[in-house]
Structure formats: structure tokens, C-alpha cells
């Protein structure tokens, strides 16, 4: 019998009830801590996404892209600098499709962003950038 088979047999023969009560309590606490941490992480992710979605929905910008860079001071966030010196940040969907020389346009209270290229216009529905957008009631502000 190989060493690996011995370990697998020991795991298969494991009986939680035969453990010392101190170890049983430890394993229960570890399981509970992992469960609570996981639930907390995912509920916080939904809240962050909702807040970011609301900010994006209210945001308005328009202009010619003069610089495209990763902002090192803001955790390498994708950033566009527009001709009027304003910046557009945190939209990975735009980062993949827009280039220097293109124009961006987004109206306030809209989820659509237009990228005007030399020969075409790309309309992006920002709902694809926010995976929890459907958890926000339509009329909620």
C-alpha cells in the first residue's frame, strides 16, 4: 500500500464523533467563521456594486480622449483623460474598446455610453459592467 493510499484511507475512515471535544469545537468554529466571512464578503460586494452603479448612472461626461493610462495612485484604475482635463475612471468595458483619439459621451441618468471612433459609433450598455444591476429597484434613487 502506497503512502497516498494510506492517507486516502485515513481520510475515508475519519469519524468526527471520535475526536476530542476540544478539537470538535475548534472545527465547528473554523467552519462557522468561514461561513460568516463568505456571506459577509458577498453581501458587501453587492452593496459596493449598487453604490458604483448609482454613481455611474448619475455621472455625465463627454469629450475627446487625449490620454489613456492606469492610475498608479488609485490602485491602477483604468483612466481616460479628456480634452477638457476631466477624467473618466473605473469602467473596464470602456477601457477595452476606446482608444486615444476617440470621443466618449454619456448623459446623466443614462446607462448608455457612446464611443465615437473615426468610422463608427459603439454604444455600450453599462449594465454589463455591473453584475448586480438587477438588484436595484428601477425607481430607486
Instruction: Tell me the pLDDT of the chain averaged across its residues.
Output: 81
| pLDDT score of 140 | 46
Q: Is the pLDDT of residue 123 over 60?
A: yes
| pLDDT score of 7 | 82
For residues 72 and 86, give the distance between their C-alpha atoms in angstroms, rounded to a whole number: 17
Q: Is the pLDDT of residue 3 over 60?
A: yes
| pLDDT score of 29 | 94
| pLDDT score of 141 | 42
% pLDDT > 70, the chain: 83
Amino acid at each position: 500500500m502506497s503512502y497516498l493510499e494510506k492517507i486516502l484511507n485515513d481520510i475515508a475512515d475519519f469519524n468526527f464523533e471520535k475526536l476530542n471535544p476540544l478539537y470538535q469545537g475548534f472545527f465547528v468554529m473554523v467552519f462557522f467563521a468561514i461561513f460568516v466571512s463568505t456571506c459577509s464578503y458577498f453581501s458587501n460586494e453587492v452593496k459596493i456594486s449598487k453604490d458604483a452603479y448609482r454613481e455611474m448612472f448619475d455621472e455625465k461626461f463627454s469629450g475627446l480622449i487625449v490620454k489613456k493610462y492606469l492610475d498608479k495612485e488609485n490602485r491602477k484604475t483604468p483612466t481616460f483623460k479628456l480634452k477638457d482635463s476631466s477624467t473618466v475612471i473605473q469602467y473596464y468595458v470602456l477601457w477595452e474598446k476606446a482608444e486615444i483619439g476617440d470621443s466618449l459621451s454619456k448623459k446623466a441618468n443614462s446607462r448608455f455610453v457612446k464611443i465615437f471612433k473615426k468610422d463608427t459609433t459603439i454604444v455600450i450598455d453599462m449594465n454589463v459592467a455591473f453584475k448586480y444591476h438587477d438588484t436595484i429597484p428601477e425607481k430607486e434613487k
